């Protein structure tokens, strides 16, 4: 089966599975839930390192004709929640990549531990938020062996959604971070985002 769209749904921790069930009922074939963390938009709390919130990121692949129904089911499933911190966005997969979208998703994959410095720099450059996922590097053929175990690199993936202009500023700020100058420490790439939906209680 060929999928045309990737839907990312970012919700408070614990809601990912429920929404996945609803999307399945609406026609999606499945979904994958990542557990990540985000930050509240409060300066003081961030300074005190108390702004963390746990988030689920649900990744759903859909075809052209499923897109509307699945998106509607996500909006529906989260309608009772507060408006804060929840959103869904749609990333096109291959085909004619639209380069004229207004929003971009920046993905940064780095060795574990740098996420906070990156988020801090991104915020200074205008990012409104971001989600940090824990990940592991792939098993390369030359993975290092040590006694009975194989050692693979630990990674963090940071997802930041931003307007096109801000996205450029954010990328510049991250590239200039002094702690990220070592070659091979990570990669950064962007995907076009064709649609962003704020989830939660409908605006009055």
Partner 1 sequence: MNLLHKIRETCYAVLPICALVLILGTTIAPLGTTTLVPFCVGSVILILGLSIFLTGADLGIVPAGAYMGSKLTRARSMPLILGAGLVIGFLITVAEPDLLVLGDQVESVTGVIKSRPLVLAVALGVGSFVALALARVLLQVPYRVVLIVGYLLIFALASRIDNVFVAIAFDSGGATTGPMTVPFIIALGVGIASVRGDKNALEDSFGFTGIASIGPIIAVTLLGFAMSGGGEHSGVGAGLGSGIDAAIAPGEGAQSAASIASIASLALASVAQAFAHFPMEARDVLIALAPLYGIILCFQFFLLRLPPRLFRRITLGFVYAAIGLTLFFIGTDLAFVPAGTKLGSVLGALEYRWILIPIGCVLGAVVVCAEPAVWVLTEQVEEASGGNIRKPVLLATLAIGVAVSVGLSMCRVIFGFSVWWLLVPFYALAIALTFATPRLFTAIAFDSGGVASGPMASTFILSLTLGASVAAGGNPATDGFGVIAMVAATPLVAIQILGMLFHRSEARVAEGLGK
Q: How far apart are CB 38 and partner 1 at their closest, in Å?
A: 11
Q: How far apart are CB 45 and partner 1 at their closest, in Å?
A: 6
Could you write out the DSSP letters of every residue in 21-62?
Answer: HHHHHTT----EEEEEEEE-S-HHHHHTT--EEEEEEEEEEE
Q: How far apart are CB 148 and partner 1 at their closest, in Å?
A: 3
Q: Which is nearer to partner 1, 14 or 95 (CB)?
A: 14
What is the largest distance, in Å, between two alpha-carbon atoms of the chain? 62
Q: Which is nearer to partner 1, 80 or 146 (CB)?
A: 146
For residue 57, is it left (φ>0), alpha (ψ between -120 and 50) or beta?
A: beta
Q: Which is nearer to partner 1, 74 or 118 (CB)?
A: 118
> Shortest CA distance to 171 belongs to which of 105, 113, 114?
105
**Which residues bind to partner 1, rule: CB under 8 A?**
33, 35, 40, 42, 45, 48-54, 112-117, 120, 136, 139, 143-144, 146-154, 179
d(CA 101, CA 27): 26
Q: Which is nearer to partner 1, 86 or 103 (CB)?
A: 86
Q: Which is nearer to partner 1, 13 or 164 (CB)?
A: 13
Integer angstrom CA distances of residue 34 from 3, 57, 177 = 20, 5, 27
Q: How far apart are CB 1 and partner 1 at their closest, in Å?
A: 18
Q: How far apart are CB 133 and partner 1 at their closest, in Å?
A: 11
């Amino acid at each position: 089966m060929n999928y045309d769209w990737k839907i990312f749904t970012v919700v408070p921790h614990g809601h990912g599975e429920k929404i996945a069930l609803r999307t399945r009922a609406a026609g999606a074939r499945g979904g994958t839930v990542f557990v990540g963390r985000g930050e509240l938009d409060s300066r003081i709390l961030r300074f005190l390192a108390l702004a963390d919130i746990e988030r689920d990121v649900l990744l759903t692949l859909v075809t052209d004709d499923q897109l509307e129904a699945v998106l509607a089911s996500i909006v529906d499933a989260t309608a009772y929640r507060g408006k804060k911190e929840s959103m869904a966005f749609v990333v096109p997969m291959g085909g004619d990549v639209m380069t004229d979208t207004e929003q971009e998703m920046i993905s940064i994959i780095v060795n574990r531990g740098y996420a906070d410095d990156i988020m801090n720099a991104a915020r200074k450059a205008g990012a409104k938020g971001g989600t940090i996922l824990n990940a592991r590097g792939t098993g390369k053929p030359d993975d290092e062996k040590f006694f009975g175990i194989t050692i693979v690199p630990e990674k963090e993936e940071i997802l930041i959604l931003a307007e096109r202009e801000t996205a450029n500023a954010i990328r510049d700020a991250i590239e200039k971070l002094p702690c990220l100058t070592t070659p091979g420490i990570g990669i950064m790439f962007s995907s076009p985002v064709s649609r962003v939906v704020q989830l939660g209680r409908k605006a009055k």
